[in-house]
Each structure stands twice: as C-alpha cells, then as structure tokens.
Amino acid sequence: MQAIERAIEIAGGQTALGELIGKDQRYIAMWKRRKKVPAEVCADIEAATKGEVTCHDLRPDVFRAPSKPRRKAAA
C-alpha cells in the first residue's frame, strides 16, 4: 500500500484527511491518483497520522529516513 493510501485509511477517508490538513478532498484524490504528494504538505500528513506515515514514507526523494536513536554505552 502506498503511503498516501495508508494516511487516507488512518484518517478515515479522503475527506477526513483533507479536513485534518486543511485541504479539499479533491487534492487528496489527485495526490493518490498521481502517486505523489507535494513536499510542503508532508509534515501536515505526518502530524495528522501521529507519525504512522512519515514525510520519508510520502516523499523519499525529498526527505531522508529518520535516524535510529543511539543507545547509550553501558557505564
């Protein structure tokens, strides 16, 4: 499943996702059809999905994968 499809599912539909990020449903449908989300809305989608869909998931060509937290060395 594509990242935008996961975001739509998590939000409860295209209209619901649009309302969460302040965009009309037709934009969500267009992004899904084109399989590309504008980079400037990625952070809004990440916040709307509470981090379940990241900017990197949506646009790996623009955003780097989050780095894994480093473990502290044992004392």
pLDDT at 11 exceeding the cut of 90: yes
Domains identified in the chain, total number: 1
Closest by CA position to 15, among listed 40, 64, 61, 48: 48
Contact status, residue 18 vs residue 46, Cβ threshold 8 Å: no
Given this model, what pLDDT does residue 64 score?
85
Q: Which domain holds residue 40?
A: 3-58
CATH of residue 51: 1.10.260.40
69 in a structural domain: no
Given this model, what pLDDT does residue 4 score?
97
Tens digit of each residue's pLDDT (9 = 90 or more) over 26-37: 999 999 999 999
pTM: 0.84
68 in a structural domain: no
User: In this prediction, what percent of the chain has a pLDDT beyond 70?
Assistant: 87
Tens digit of each residue's pLDDT (9 = 90 or more) over 58-69: 999 999 877 766
